[in-house]
Structure 1
């Protein structure tokens, strides 16, 4: 660094002064408004915006030399044209007239610096302004969701040099980097104990769900994404324009679709528009059929929150003495957000699928199991294991006797509690038609630190009968022994789960399109779990190991 770095800093200060002079520009300017971040200075002139990069090196970002700054200016224009083609115009040379000792914009053989030139878009057209002005509508949300779905569909990468960024090692490295760079600010952002807990949760999740990360890589969900997807970067103009992607670090831009969308989810929640966040993400999931996304969103949202906390802390390094308070307060807000989402993914989740025979509960349970890579327990499997040779019994007798069914629920409750004790998330599949069985199950988890969501699958009597008739014809391979003859007794004895608290309960209809049922269920499952995690995090004075 030394002498060359000092010279870069001197040149940069002089160039900034030049940009503040209206005569510097080769076109009329109606204003000169300067905005600054820890990595760049931006000048708004009325029609055009000029952005110059600071000669800084933060490890994850290196703009130290003129050559690096030139390279990243061209990268910024190239990459941002993917989502804002007509906004990013060119890279402009900044030259020095040696005779007059003045900087100018134009052509020269040896430019001293480079600037990104783009159209100035009115702030009134940003998504953030639309939200705060209560001007948002379903049509706009659909356009944003579909624009992003189309972008990610085209941005998928298959080259191992890039897909590695979605693998466990890179994901964990990125997450750890946030923790390490927050350590110097530990006292301001919540303490060393909190940072240690966050790091342990990262390790535990990436170890337990390595197979999930690998599956995402194999299925094409690693993309050359945006990297900084926020409401202030989305503009409702000529369709949807999305600005300011990350150009300075591949591993912060390449990654799972979920890590990109997590930034937008976090930002919309921060602004107080959580329902908007769910609506936009739901459009993406339905369009691209990516419901597995919800199983990773908390992990990546926690990561993104810590990125924002880190950036807020770094901004204090360029603050004047005594003016760091607001930046640290912003960092603490993001730390709280990161803590909530870490509690969501870091504590085990127990999902109980209940409902009448042929209601679709087992199919939904299997889908959650497969998409989220969670453990799976089924009353049907336990029953077959206890007595593999048993045949279909009349309702109330044999395997369908009250005592036999109660015993099966006792075994399943104990198995679930054991898995939770080991930190595992579990999908539990059974009719749970008696309130006493549901109570038994919930009581067995009383002391466990876990999230619990009970899901009732429902279908019309006509659909239930049709499915059971298909089962009897042998057209469907089913583990369940429930048949059409059992349906009426099941309906008569079924006790609706009215006692289950709203915050732990979801009812989903399986009458129509199964994929739409999955879309609704996975979104609402995510929402319920996050709300439980927020309550848990708000009560914590210390943080147990995951």
Structure 2
């Protein structure tokens, strides 16, 4: 026990006793490197341990009170269902301790409302319940969190440069566990990636993308409450560590999903985040950001081995470093266009293919129906009148799609563009974009039985497409069947169609 903690022993004993809360149910105590948490009925109380480390100092009562107040201020806006207030543990006249008594404060605690542990996103993921729909809600929730985050004036490149140097120093002494060659190769790749990304990071900081973020945004710090994804337990003890590019904050979550082999969910979260935030500029730095997050986890895993030499921790550390290296591995982008009549399942196919296109966590999925609604400032599920489908509007929708695709490709990421592509001019335009940027192009043309397509359209619910049977019949009369695109039948199950498309794009 840290010497300063001896004075806390009586408080810990008091808060561990059910009588402190007026009950007799056992109190569960969770101790971390910097806090004690007491789970009592429907409430939880957290006190900071009276410890002093190289990166934090909670050795004084005022410091502990201040950091609890900061934790409340950071978390309560996003998680009002959890965070309540800071309360005092007081010394009463007879010498006994009390919660919010009349005597002087001897400790401070953060009072919170408990939630079921099975509602934690990490537990949901462990149980196989992290669906693509939930992953999309996850990305949207993080985008909303970042939209409210306070902007900071820090230099984005300097912040990341400090992390690169910290890793260079720390990992340099971990070669025995991680492998000297692997460490050196990663550090060299990270140095190159940082040098390439530095101008982008500076520009993003100037544009307001460096903010007071969550700082510790992984699945264990996200919970599902009433169907809403709620971030909690933001990093509170170091303002500089909590200040970063919003994409670096988001990268922790994406890396965590990739580490769990949840590639499809990571791609779904990425695409929903991009749609909600409209921030394509962070893609250029995303491989570096995810690599740094994974390398930090490798470093922490090695540090956790101190004193016990756990083989499991060593294996986990090597896995994280392997992921970090994979994120930085060269992976040229490509452009894929998915076209066909309404009802052929273009959006489903595009979403199913996107996670498997390099680089990690997969391609950005761009959809004409969503871009059309955005053009009119409408919700994706809103129905547009016929005026929204005039030829000049179609031209603008395709221009927006190709502009966004170009930005994605120039950032080094693959793009999947999902639209009917009935007009030859739009098919020519998307291929010309790939040729101009020097990236591979694949055109996928879905086709199927018209009667089946009509049944699918009539069965749609909660979809951004406004196409109905009349639209389908008009498309059929117009006709389009490009000979230079790969024709794939949309008949069968979603898995079967997705398998055909994946085989065409990623042949063994």
> TM-score when scaled to structure 2?
0.65
Q: Give the match for residue 37 of structure 1.
A: 32
Q: Give the match for residue 12 of structure 1.
A: 8
Distance 1:325 1:335, change over 3 A: same
For residue 211 of structure 2, give the secondary structure of its aligned residue in structure 1.
strand
TM-fit CA distance, 1:80? 0.6
Contact 2:283–2:413, Cα closer than 8 Å, also in 1: no
Distance 1:47 1:221, change over 3 A: same
Q: Give the match for residue 189 of structure 1.
A: 178
Give the Cα separation in 1 of the matches to 2:114 and 2:48: 18
Which structure 2 residue ranges, 5 or more long, are not aligned?
A: 338-394, 415-432, 447-481, 489-501
Distance 1:333 1:26, change over 3 A: same
Of 122-131 and 240-249, the range deviating more from structure 2 = 122-131
Q: Give the match for residue 328 of structure 1.
A: 314
Distance 1:63 1:329, change over 3 A: farther
Q: Give the match for residue 21 of structure 1.
A: 17
1:260-271 to 2 correspondence within 5 Å?
260-271=249-260
Q: Give the match for residue 126 of structure 1.
A: 120
Q: Give the match for residue 466 of structure 1.
A: none
Give the Cα separation in 2 of the matches to 1:56 and 1:147: 34
Within the alignment, does 1:455 sit opposite 2:457 as a pair? no
Within the alignment, does 1:226 sit opposite 2:221 as a pair? no
Q: Give the match for residue 342 of structure 2.
A: none
Give the Cα separation in 1 of the matches to 2:408 and 2:138: 27
Give the Cα separation in 2 of the matches to 1:431 and 1:145: 29
Contact 2:61–2:106, Cα closer than 8 Å, also in 1: yes
Contact 1:29–1:46, Cα closer than 8 Å, also in 2: no
One of 47, 57, 81 as aligned partner of 1:52: 47
Contact 2:247–2:282, Cα closer than 8 Å, also in 1: yes
Aligned pair count reads 377
Contact 1:49–1:119, Cα closer than 8 Å, also in 2: yes
Distance 1:289 1:328, change over 3 A: same
Distance 1:351 1:146, change over 3 A: closer
> TM-score when scaled to structure 1?
0.60
Q: Give the match for residue 92 of structure 1.
A: 87
CA RMSD of superposed structures (Å): 3.7
One of 153, 160, 163 as aligned partner of 1:163: 153
TM-fit CA distance, 1:213? 0.9
Q: Give the match for residue 258 of structure 1.
A: 247
Distance 1:354 1:337, change over 3 A: closer
Distance 1:99 1:8, change over 3 A: farther
Contact 1:354–1:456, Cα closer than 8 Å, also in 2: yes
Give the Cα separation in 2 of the matches to 1:244 and 1:430: 46
Which structure 1 residue ranges, 5 or more long, are not aligned?
A: 375-426, 433-452, 461-490, 499-523, 532-546
Distance 1:233 1:107, change over 3 A: same
Give the Cα separation in 2 of the matches to 1:373 and 1:342: 13
Give the Cα separation in 2 of the matches to 1:331 and 1:110: 46
For residue 204 of structure 2, give the secondary structure of its aligned residue in structure 1.
helix
TM-fit CA distance, 1:294? 2.7
Distance 1:272 1:32, change over 3 A: farther
1:456-471 to 2 correspondence within 5 Å?
456=442
TM-fit CA distance, 1:77? 0.9
1:236-247 to 2 correspondence within 5 Å?
236-238=224-226, 239-247=228-236
Contact 1:352–1:455, Cα closer than 8 Å, also in 2: yes
Give the Cα separation in 2 of the matches to 1:97 and 1:112: 10
Contact 2:215–2:234, Cα closer than 8 Å, also in 1: yes
TM-fit CA distance, 1:310? 2.9
Deviations 1:494-537, CA, capped at 9 Å, x for gaps? 69799xxxxxxxxxxxxxxxxxxxxxxxxx9xxx9xx9xxxxxx
Within the alignment, does 1:429 sit opposite 2:435 as a pair? yes
1:378-457 to 2 correspondence within 5 Å?
429-430=435-436, 454-456=440-442
TM-fit CA distance, 1:78? 0.9
One of 110, 116, 125 as aligned partner of 2:110: 116
Q: Give the match for residue 206 of structure 1.
A: 194
Contact 1:72–1:247, Cα closer than 8 Å, also in 2: yes
Within the alignment, does 1:145 sit opposite 2:134 as a pair? no
**Which structure has the larger Rg?**
1
Within the alignment, does 1:283 sit opposite 2:272 as a pair? yes
Within the alignment, does 1:177 sit opposite 2:177 as a pair? no
